[in-house]
């Protein structure tokens, strides 16, 4: 009725625990090179573009609003989107700087 003897399992080869962690470490390395590193590169390029904004630049803001920069602040950009219409957006909302003269062809 009762178990008379209990047998312990034999241990694996020395260093076996290290080899079981290799696939997990490999997954983190692949994740870094496929996802994290390109995202950091894009964020760095976006920050450089925002820092280089100048008065008169033609930009696309979040939501697809197109206009030209009229005023710059530390945190905000004032854009002229139509004659007599100016809006203020956060600098981070600027997604793209258009080539000069793009808005002239649109209007």
Tell me the average confidence (pLDDT) per consecutive run of 10 residues in the chain, 107 residues long: 68 68 92 95 95 94 94 94 93 93 72
Q: What is the DSSP string of 69-101?
A: EEEE-SSEEEEEEETTEEEEEEGGGEEEEEPTT
Q: For residue 47, what pLDDT is reported?
A: 95
Backbone φ and ψ of 10, nearest 5° = -75, 140
Query: Count of CB atoms within 10 A of residue 91's CB?
Result: 17
Q: For residue 16, what pLDDT is reported?
A: 64
Q: For residue 105, what pLDDT is reported?
A: 62
């Amino acid at each position: 009725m009762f178990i008379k003897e209990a047998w312990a399992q034999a241990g694996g080869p020395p260093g076996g625990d290290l080899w079981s962690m290799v696939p997990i470490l490999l997954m983190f390395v692949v994740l870094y090179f496929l996802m994290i590193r390109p995202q950091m590169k894009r964020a760095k390029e976006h920050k450089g573009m925002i820092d280089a904004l100048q008065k008169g630049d033609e930009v696309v803001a979040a939501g697809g609003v197109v206009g030209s920069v009229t005023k710059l602040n530390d945190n905000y950009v004032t854009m002229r989107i139509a004659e007599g219409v100016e809006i203020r957006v956060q600098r981070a909302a600027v997604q793209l700087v258009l080539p000069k003269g793009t808005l002239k062809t649109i209007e």
